[in-house]
Chain A
């Protein structure tokens, strides 16, 4: 199984809503990533979890709250978002995040629209 799955595929939420994005992999990868991608731009790294601990936060606003309940699951909790947060949110995983480079496997993304 070389797949990263993400749910939901699409999400529309109001600025006062609370919602969560979910990412799952069963490849035994110990590093998991959240990226944000605006239209026609490359992905921007948001968070990295390594062995279920947050290792990188790229100065992301606190309205985005990541969580890694176990080595296979990664969540992104959303609260009080702004319309400019509308984007494709991509999850990725790799064997680890340190030492030699490892291939990152990306999920299909969640298309988020904030109204």
Chain B
């Protein structure tokens, strides 16, 4: 069983909509990472957070350590936001990233 679960697996939205992608983890972590991957492309690190909330432009990431849950929000979504968003956990005695299976986001114009 994967220790990092993401939902939904697929998400289709209309341009301008508010998007939420969820991530739950079952292991102790030192940080939670949100990554973006465009089709056929490399990976871009969006956020790394261990508590609270971070904001960068239209992207907001939150984490609730007690509930072992993180969310990635996209405000005013745009077709260029279409990508796979991956949640990954790091820390404990193992510094490796444990990846979720990713959420494929499609934003239609």
Residues from chain B with a CB closer than 8 A to the CB of A40 are: 102
- The interface residues of chain A lying within 8 Å CB-to-CB of B45 are 103-106
Interface magnitude class on chain A: 20 to 34
A52 to B10, CA, bound (A): 39
Interface residues of B, CB < 8 Å — how many?
Answer: 23
B42 and A107 contacting across the interface, CB-CB below 8 Å: yes
A45 to B30, CA, bound (A): 19
Interface positions, chain A 51-99, Cβ under 8 Å from B, are 56, 90, 92, 97-98
Residues of chain A from 1 to 31 with CB closer than 8 A to chain B in the complex: 6
CA distance in complex: A92, B33 (Å):
14
Instruction: Tell me the interface secondary structure of chain A in the complex.
Output: loop
Known: A98-B95, A103-B45. A42 touches B102 (CB 8 A): yes
Given A42-B102, A101-B50, A101-B90, are A106 and B42 neighbors across the interface (CB < 8 Å)?
A: yes
CB < 8 Å: which of A90, A101, A108 contacts B95?
A101
Q: List A residues at the B interface (Cβ < 8 Å).
A: 6, 40-43, 45, 48, 56, 90, 92, 97-98, 100-109, 111
- 23 A-B pairs with C-beta separation under 8 A: A6-B42, A40-B102, A42-B88, A45-B96, A45-B97, A56-B96, A90-B42, A90-B43, A92-B43, A100-B30, A101-B95, A102-B48, A103-B45, A103-B48, A104-B33, A104-B97, A106-B42, A106-B43, A106-B44, A108-B42, A109-B41, A109-B42, A109-B43
